[in-house]
Structures are given as C-alpha cells and as structure tokens.
Amino acid sequence: MIRTKQIIIVSLFFLGFQASAQLDELTPEEQAYRDSITALNLENEAIANSQEAYNSGIKSFQAKKFNEAIAHFSKSIQFDPNFTAAYYNKGIAENESEKYNDATKTFTQLIVLKPTYSKAFFQRGRSYQGLNDYLNAEKDYETSIKLDNENPKAYYNYGTLRFLQNDFDGAINYFTQSIKLDGTNPNSYNDRGSSYRMKGDYPKAIADYEEALKKNPNLAFVLNNIGTTKSKMKDYTGALAAFNRAISIDANFHLAYNNRGVVQMNQNRIDDAIKDFSKALEINSNYSPAATNLSGAYFKKKDYKKALEFGNKAVAMDKTNGSAFVNRGNAKEMLRDMIGACEDWSKAKELGSELGKNYYSSNCAN
Amino acid sequence: MKKYLLSTISIFSLFLTFSQNVEFKSANFKDDKDGLKQATDAIKSGDDYFTIANEAIFMVQSPGLNYELALKQYNVAQKFNPNNGELNYKIGVCYANSPYAQKSIQYLKKAYELDPTCDPFLNFYYGYALQLDGKFSEAIKSYEAFEEGYRKADNFNKFVSKRKKECSDAKAAMESPIRAWVDNVSELNSEFNDFAPSISTDGGEIIYTSDRPNGHTPNEAGSFDKDIYSSSLNNSKWDKPSSLKGGVNSTTDDVSNNISYDGTKLLLHRDVDGKSDIFESTLKGANWSTPEPLPFQISSKNANEVYAAYSEDGWSIYFGRDNDNRSNGFDIMYSSMQSKIQKNFMAAQMISSINSKFNEGPVYITIDGETMYIASEGSGSLGGYDIFVSKKAQGTWSKPENMGYPINTPYDDFFFSSTANGKYAYISSNRDGGQGGYDIYKVTFWGEPKPPELATEDYLLASIVNPIKDNSIEATVDVNKKSFTVFKGVTIDHITKKPVEAEIEITDNATGKLIETFTTNSATGKFIITLASGKNYGIAVKATGYLFHSENFDIPQGAADNLVNKVIELKNIAIGSTIALRNIFFDTGKSTLRSESNAELDRLVKLMKDVPGLKIEISGHTDNTGSASLNASLSQDRAQAVVNYVQSKGVAGNRMTAKGYGSSKPIATNNTSDGRQQNRRTEFEIKAN
C-alpha cells in the first residue's frame, strides 16, 4: 500500500517533472523564437482578416450597397493600414455615394502610401470636383496626367472643369486631347461642341454634336443641343427637326418639348407652343421653364389671367427663375397690379434678367 | 352712376317721344301767370348772356361767364317748364360750351325730340350731343343735316367741317386704342373743376388748380375763384389736397401752369386789369413766394397769356397768347432769355408749325427737350381740346400728332405733365365717368410691347445627363490564412533516454511534398522548426544503429500556445551496442527483481517485440567488493532474472542469453562509492538484429 502510494507520488512527481520540464525546455532563445512566430501569426491573421473584409467590400460594392462596402473597406484598412487596394476601393465607394469629403481624405491617405499612383490623383480630382472645389480638382488632374498622360478620362474631366469656369478655349484643348486618346466617347465630342457653342462658333458646335451622334445615335440630349444651337443660328426648321428627333428617341425628354415650344413661339405659332410647353409640364410637373413659357405664351394671347396663373406656378417651382418673375410681372401689369409688376421685375433684375432690368427701369423707377 | 343716369334719361326720353313741346305762352299756363312771367323774364335775361357767349365762341374767343350766367337764368325757366324744346336747346348749348359738356346731352336730345326746328343751330348741337355720346355716324348725319339747312355765307362752316372730321377721326381712333390706361384720380378730384396738373420730376408731388369751394365769395354765376392745390403721393395714393402753402392763392383766379424740373419754381397765370398774365413763384423752404409777373415780352398788357411752361434748358418760356384781332384763338409762343441772371426776355415768337386756326395750349416740354405735348382744338382733334405730341427734329417742331384714344375723347382732354421716366402722365378731361366738370386723370403708358422671356434648357455637359463613371475598383484577393506553429522536439534513445543525432524528414501528408529535412543536434538531440498550422505531417527519423522511425502528427490550426513538442524515442539496433539498464533494481545481495524495475524491463520487452530479429545478451555486473565467486554467481543470477522476466512477457528465450561477469568488466573505478555504484549494473548487448 505504502509502496503504491510512493510509486504514485514518484510517478506524479515524475510526470510533473516531465510537464514542467516541457515548459522549462524552452530556452530563452527558443522562447524568443516562439514569440516571433506568435507575432508573425498575429500579423498574418490581421492580413487575412483585412483581405476577407476587402473581398466582402467588393461584394457589397457590386451589389451597389455602397455604405456597406465602405464599412467593409474601413475594416480592411483597420486590420492592414498598408492595404492600398482597400483605400482605393473605399474612395471609389465614397465617390459613388457622393461622400466627396470622405473620399478626398481616403485618397489622400492612399497617396501618402503610393505617391506616384496616377489613378489615386485622378479619383481625388473627381472627389474635389464633386465638392465644386475646382482649384484642387484641377491640380489633381494635372498631377494624374503628369504621372500617366494616356488617360482620356483625366483630360475629359479637366476639360469639364475648364468649361464650368468659362474657360472654353481651355476646355476645347482638353476635350481634344481626350478625343485623341479615345475617339469613341460621344461625351467628349458633345462637350467640345458645347464649348464651341459658348464661344459662339455654332457651325463647329454642330459638327461636334453630329460626331457625338455618330458614336451613339440615341443620345437625345445631344439632339437637344443641336436644336437650341440651330435656334441661335435662326435655322428654325433645322432646330425643329432636331427636337423632333430628340423626342422620337426619348418621348419623355421634357427639355426637347419645352425648347421646341420656344421655337414655335419665335415662329408665332402660339397654340403649338402652348401644346409643347404643356407636354413638358405633364412629363415633369415641377419644370419651371415650361411654366414660365406658358405664362409668356398666354400673355401673347392676351389671356392675362392664365399668364398670371402660370407665372405663379413657375415662381413657386423655382424662386430663382428670373424669367418667371419677368413674365409674371408682365401679366400683373396688364391686370392693373403695377406694384406687383414692379416687385416682380425688380426681383427678376436681382436674379440677373436683362429684360427684367429694362422693364423695371423703364416702368418703375421715377 | 352716370351710366345709370343716362339709362334713366334714355327711358325717360322714350317716354317723352310722346311728349309735346310746351311754349312759354299764357294759354299754356293759365293758372300761373306769375310763374310764367318770371320764367319768360329769366329767359330774356339769359338770352342776353347767351348771345354774347355765342358771338365769342364764333370768334374762337372765351365766352367768359356768359354761358354760366345764361344758364342760371334758364334753369329758373326750366324749373317752371321743362318741356320747351328751345329752352332745352339753349340749356344744352350752355352746358356744351362749359366744362360740364356731358350734361348737355340730355337737354339737346330732349330739345330734338320736343321740337327739331326750335333753332337753326339745333342740328349742329344735336350732332355734338351725339358726338359726345360716341354715336359718330349719327352725329355726322346731324351735322350734314345742319349743313343742308345753313345757308349763311360766314365762317361757321369751319366748325361743321371740323366736327365732321372729328367724328370720323374719333371712330377710327376708338377702333385702334393706343397702349395706355386712363384712370380717374379720385383722391384729387371733386364735383367741381380740377385741372392743370403739374407733376414733380420724381412723381411724388402734384400741383393743380381747382374751383372747388374755398371760403371766398363766389362770383355772380355762383362759382368760386380758382385756387392752386398740392398733394403728395403716399403708398401709391394721393393725400387729401391742400391749398398751396405760401402767398400764391389770392381771391381771384390763380391757375397753375408748370412746375420747373427741379421743383423750385412755379409758373401760373392770373388776371391783371382784365387780361390774363403769366406769373412765377419760387419755393422758399415749405412756402411758395408771392408770384411775380413775367416781363412784358411774355405778360403783355393787350393780350391774354395763359398756360406757360419752362423749356428743358430753362432759357425759354412757352405760353399761350390770344389775339383780339385774329380769330385763331390762343396760339403757342415762346420767349427766350438773353441772360439767366438778368432774365431779359426777347420778344415772343410764334411756333407756326404747331399752331392751328383754333385754340392751342397748354403746352409741356419733356425734360430732354425733344418732345412737346400741346393741347389743341384744331385739326386732328377727336372733339374739343385734344392732346397732341410734337417732336423736335433739326431744330424745328414737327406737325403735332393726336395721341389717340383713350387719352383723347370727343370731350376736352388737355394738359399733360409726365413723370421723368415717361411711364405716367397727368391730364385733365371732362369726359363722361368723372366726378363732375374737369377731372385729373392719370395716364399709364403700357410702353413698347413687352416680349416675354422664354426659358430654354440644355444639358451642355454630357456629364450632367450621361456621367462617365470611372468607378472600376481593384479586384478581389486570395485570402491566405497562414499561421505557423513552432515544432520542437528531441530524438533520444528509447532505453537510455540519451540524445541521439538523427535525420528527420517532414512531409505534408495532404500534398505529399517534402517540407523540411534537417538533422537533430548531435549533443542534445534537439530540434526546433516552424510548420504551417492546420496540417497533418509525416515525420521520418533515421539514425545510424537505430530502428527507422516514422509517424504522423497534426499541427492544429490556431493552437493557443502555437507550440508542439515531440519526444522521439529511437530504438537502438546496432550489433555490439551495449545499453545499460539503469532502472533495474534487485534486492540487496539477491537476484530478485524489485517491482520498480518493471518500467525498464517493459521497455526492453517492447524493444524485443518491435525488432523481432534482435538477439541480445543480458549481462550482470558487480563491483569488486566481496567474494569473486559470489559476485560471479550473483551477477549470473541477476542476468537470468532479467531474461526470465522478458521471456515471461512473451519474448522467445532463444533470443536471449544471460551472462554474469561479476566484477570482471568494470566501467568505472571501484575505489569510490560512485564508481562502485556504476559498476553494479545490468546491461544488454545487441548480438544480432
């Protein structure tokens, strides 16, 4: 009995010795080695988690769940702050959901990690553009082009910015570059055409719009641009034809109806014009230009009550529509509300309407 | 109200179609001879004034108060007998030649109905009533009827021709009204005459003339003298008019003419010794100064000067002057200063291009000096005074053109004073629909037609409607879940537990790929490597003289302490190898195996069973203490005891031999207790394998 106990104790001691001997078996060097492997494992785990989150983000992005995608990419970055693809995709997702401020920050972080990544500059340019920060957008597009001068989209976007800042010559230059690199994009032709149009070079504008249509004949908005340009050239027949084509492509393109109505007005076909303006309003019940034009059309028909009615509608739809105030003022005058008319022309003048300014100064100022 | 009155009169007139003309004869008024006398006396008195007035009109001169005085008398008779054609005619004529022309219509129509032959001039005045009433075609017929019947070779035809032309002009004018509204300014008007408006340049102040009751003594006709009033515009409404402040208004007629563009001077006219002269007053603070007559070149002794106006440059005064010797009525003249300081006016000049055979005046020059508005009864009028406009071209004034309807009507429409921007003007008129007599009207010019502003919209930039999205993202990545485990171990002899240098090969059993090959430490038998976790590995161990060892083991995924420790025991099988069995114990001096030897003995049993070809010699050894022979036999017995044990465990006896060597083969010195301890041993030697 005693012997058994002793044996057990000895065995236990032996086992214990064996066990502690196992732990004790790690020399300091071995412990250090093991610690380094532990650290490596943690690092690999983090990278794996980052990659999994990244892939989930891509899935969400493809399902157009952009906020979800952003969350996944953020998580990916948390696990691996050097994962540049995650930054890139996060930024794109932020641009898609118009979180342009966040996107600029994301791309800035990416650029720190990858200072010569031209696409990062391009995308950050897009983000700044979304914020209407044209200055910074242009800087980024320039850098992007310096790093990669074969990206037609960078030239295109830069051209757009130049256009928005009324530098039409600059815009033409960049759109031309974009076209050289990618001659299949109808947008570049359209926008260059619009740049020529803003410079008053209508034939060149028409030529470019036609090119855009060759690339894609189903762009109703290009036909609309042709229509209004031909109107400016007083080619009303051509203008009408263009609007008709635009409408045949897109029967709900309210702009084309409205613009066609204006040509009808210029040709003194008031009733036809009213039909077109009414159609535009039917398609888009909040379309202030159509209501404005109906006010003008009824004014010409001397139906001042209807002119006032549509003037009121047009103003209610858009309080910054100077033309609406002009036309409503005209109606008010003929309905013997001179005070109301002067208020409206004054407001039109404030909003930049030359006609409003003229009517106010010749009818209201003493 | 007036329309209602007219309707009532019309109905009444219809009723009167069946009325008869009642002469002022005693046969008709047997019961009221006194009344009849009073009435006929009144008519006679009235006739005196009536005749004077008619003569003056014929001479295109002012009838003065004569029609009013005649009317006063006629009304007495009319009250007595309203159904006399001639009396109605005369009353009609009085009103027709007064500011209250509208009132003439009912009387003239009644006269015509009662007695169309009561006066040779009835057709003329009846035509006028029709003209005022807008019945132009009928009026022309009436005028033509008058022409048929009027055979006198005098100048009167000029009036008839004029009236006929007025009718056709009025018809055409009303069919093409001009772009203006004409509204009665009720705040300024009264049932009396309110006229001669003069508006300040900014349109905020108005000065005009009225013969409304003013607290003075009325004249013999019961009318008050004309005074000048002013009013200010407040929130688009005129304040209640008040008498002009200062020393302007007197107890005689004071008629406003024109306020200067800077608002500091006022031209007016008033009677001096029976003739009308132009005066000027100056604004000092809030009060107008006592008016001073303009020099004789303007305010002459022998003629009447009325309705003056400043030229735009302040160098000239325009005004109306009549001439007793001519029958052209008032004509427009102007006189210019040589020096503005001395105010030395030159002799007045007539402007022949704008004057007619009938009355002209008042006149108004626009602030730019390019346009003159002039009232005239002359050719081109639609009836009475009309307002005409003349433009300056190459230093001369153009032929005045009628401003058209609704500014002009068959009634008197005159005076014209406009705001600086030309949008509004104030005129006077005694047209139907006013408050009575002359009233102030506001003209609102529509201006040029106002084209509406048409709005178009384009998507000039494609990115608005067709955005190019460069939203391609980076591709997915393969997730590499790598984790490593430290694989540590030692190769030792199965029996002696001593380290053995061995060659190890590690294979990934899933792929069959050789992962690692290494040799364990020769001194310690230790090894330490890293293997990817989550796999099953095969380990093959080779050591010279030792049995080949292989096994498989798992390196689990995510082991908490990422460490796997393996002790690999190798079985010695080299021939001639001698292995000491250090854990075999005997009772002292005996060959009885103690139970604590079993573990070692069992390991020997395992070795024998694992290596079936192994043949061994088990030897017993002692130290050198005691008898040599005893030591030899003891050692032999002990060796045999071991053989017996192993054999008892199933190992064939022919594989083992027992040999006792006594103290003949020491492995250590017998001079120390340690050495002797070491010499006391049991061993086995590999004989065959």
Decide: helix, strand or coil at residue B624: coil
The predicted structure's pLDDT at residue B536 = 84
- How far does the CA of residue A352 sit from the closest CA of chain B (Å)? 12
Decide: helix, strand or coil at residue B118: coil
Sign of CA dihedral A70, A71, A76, A81: positive
Cβ(B335)–Cβ(B345) below 8 Å: yes
Distance CA B33, CA B27 (A): 10
Output DSSP code: residue B453.
P
- How far does the CA of residue B25 sit from the closest CA of chain A (Å)? 57
- How far does the CA of residue B361 sit from the closest CA of chain A (Å)? 26
No. of helices (H) and no. of strands (E), chain A: 20, 0
Q: Which among A34, A194, A365 has CB closest to B461?
A: A194
Instruction: Estimate the crossing angle of helix B85-96 against helix B33-58, to 10 degrees.
Output: 40
Residue B560 has pLDDT above 70, yes or no: no
Residue with tokens 């003289």: B545
Residues of A in contact with B203 (CB under 8 A): 366
Phi-psi region of B415 (alpha: psi -120 to 50; beta: other; left: phi over 0): left
Residues B143-155 pLDDT 10s: 999 988 887 777 7
Residues B283-310 pLDDT 10s: 999 899 999 999 988 898 888 899 999 9
Q: Inter-chain contact A89–B473, Cβ cutoff 8 Å? A: yes
Residues of B in contact with A96 (CB under 8 A): 469, 471
Distance CA B580, CA B418 (A): 141
No. of helices (H) and no. of strands (E), chain B: 12, 34
Residues B17-47 pLDDT 10s: 457 999 999 999 999 999 999 999 999 999 9
The count of other CB atoms within 10 Å of the CB of residue B37 is 14
The predicted structure's pLDDT at residue B579 = 83
Interface probe, candidates B185, B201, B454, chain A, greatest A C-beta count within 10 A? B454
Distance CA B278, CA B255 (A): 10
Residue B421 has pLDDT above 90, yes or no: no
Q: Which among B446, B455, B479 has CB closest to A292?
A: B455
Residue with tokens 């010695």: B572
Cβ(A331)–Cβ(A344) below 8 Å: no
Tell me which of A149-153, A315-319, B133-137, B328-332 is least confident.
B328-332
> What tokens does B34 get?
């006194």
Q: Inter-chain contact B461–A89, Cβ cutoff 8 Å? A: no
Decide: helix, strand or coil at residue B532: strand
> What tokens does A252 get?
């709900």
Distance CA B495, CA B642 (A): 15
Highest mean pLDDT of the ranges B224-228, B444-448, B570-574, B596-600: B224-228
Distance CA B201, CA B183 (A): 20
pTM of the model: 0.69
Cα radius of gyration rounded to whole Å, chain A: 34
Higher pLDDT, B302 or A108: A108
Residues A285-303 pLDDT 10s: 999 999 999 999 999 999 9
**Residue percentage of chain A with pLDDT more than 90:** 84
> What tokens does A104 get?
């600029």
The count of other CB atoms within 10 Å of the CB of residue B82 is 16
Q: Which among B465, B484, B488 has CB closest to A41?
A: B484
Cβ(B513)–Cβ(B590) below 8 Å: no
Cβ(B476)–Cβ(B209) below 8 Å: no
Q: How confident is the model at residue B589 (pLDDT cuts 50, 70, 90)?
A: confident
Residues of B in contact with A321 (CB under 8 A): 455
Q: Which among A3, A45, A293 has CB closest to B455?
A: A293
* Mean local confidence (pLDDT), B303-319: 90
Distance CA B455, CA B80 (A): 72
Residue B578 has pLDDT above 60, yes or no: yes
Residues of B in contact with A259 (CB under 8 A): 456-458
List the beta bridge partners of residue B332. B320
CB neighbour list of residue B658: distance below 8 Å, 6 or more residues apart: B617, B618, B619, B620, B636, B639, B640, B642, B643
> Which candidate, B416, B259, B323, B249, places its Cα nearest to that of B60?
B323
Residue A21 has pLDDT above 50, yes or no: no
Distance CA A354, CA A300 (A): 20
Q: Which among A30, A228, A363 has CB closest to B458?
A: A228
Q: How confident is the model at residue B7 (pLDDT cuts 50, 70, 90)?
A: low
Q: How confident is the model at residue B324 (pLDDT cuts 50, 70, 90)?
A: low
- How far does the CA of residue A271 sit from the closest CA of chain B (Å)? 15
CB neighbour list of residue B652: distance below 8 Å, 6 or more residues apart: none
Q: Which among B423, B455, B596 has CB closest to A363?
A: B423
Scored b (16 or more CB within 10 A) or e, A69-108 reads bbbbbbbbbebbeebbbbbbbbbbbbbbeebbebbbbbbe
Q: Which residue of B has its CA nearest to A363?
A: B423
Output DSSP code: residue B499.
B
Q: Inter-chain contact B477–A194, Cβ cutoff 8 Å? A: no
The predicted structure's pLDDT at residue A3 = 45
Residue A344 has pLDDT above 90, yes or no: yes
**Residue percentage of chain B with pLDDT more than 90:** 56
Residue A319 has pLDDT above 50, yes or no: yes
Decide: helix, strand or coil at residue B231: strand
The predicted structure's pLDDT at residue B18 = 54
- How far does the CA of residue A300 sit from the closest CA of chain B (Å)? 8
Higher pLDDT, A250 or B9: A250
The predicted structure's pLDDT at residue B264 = 92
Q: Inter-chain contact B447–A296, Cβ cutoff 8 Å? A: no
Instruction: Estimate the crossing angle of helix A186-198 against helix A220-232, to 10 degrees.
Output: 20
Which value does ipTM take for this structure?
0.82
Cβ(B670)–Cβ(B663) below 8 Å: yes
Q: Which residue of B has its CA nearest to A212?
A: B462
Q: What is the 3-state secondary structure (H, E, C) of B252-300?
A: CCEEEEEECCCCCEEEEEEEECCEEEEEEEEEECCEECCCEECCCCCCC
Interface probe, candidates B457, B472, B483, B487, chain A, greatest A C-beta count within 10 A? B457
Furthest C-alpha separation in chain A? 130
Interface probe, candidates A3, A66, A221, A283, chain B, greatest B C-beta count within 10 A? A221
Residue B123 has pLDDT above 80, yes or no: yes
* Mean local confidence (pLDDT), B113-119: 92
The predicted structure's pLDDT at residue B325 = 65
Q: Inter-chain contact B466–A187, Cβ cutoff 8 Å? A: yes
Q: Inter-chain contact B444–A338, Cβ cutoff 8 Å? A: yes
Residue B674 has pLDDT above 90, yes or no: no
Higher pLDDT, B376 or A329: A329
Q: Which residue of B has its CA nearest to A297?
A: B452
Long-range residue pairs from B344-353, CB within 8 A, at least 24 positions apart, any chain: B344/B295, B345/B294, B345/B295, B345/B297, B345/B298, B345/B317, B346/B297, B347/B297, B348/B297, B348/B298, B348/B319, B348/B321, B351/B397, B353/B390, B353/B396, B353/B397, B353/B398, B353/B399
Q: How confident is the model at residue A2 (pLDDT cuts 50, 70, 90)?
A: very low
Decide: helix, strand or coil at residue A127: helix
Cβ(B21)–Cβ(B113) below 8 Å: no
Residues of B in contact with A365 (CB under 8 A): 421
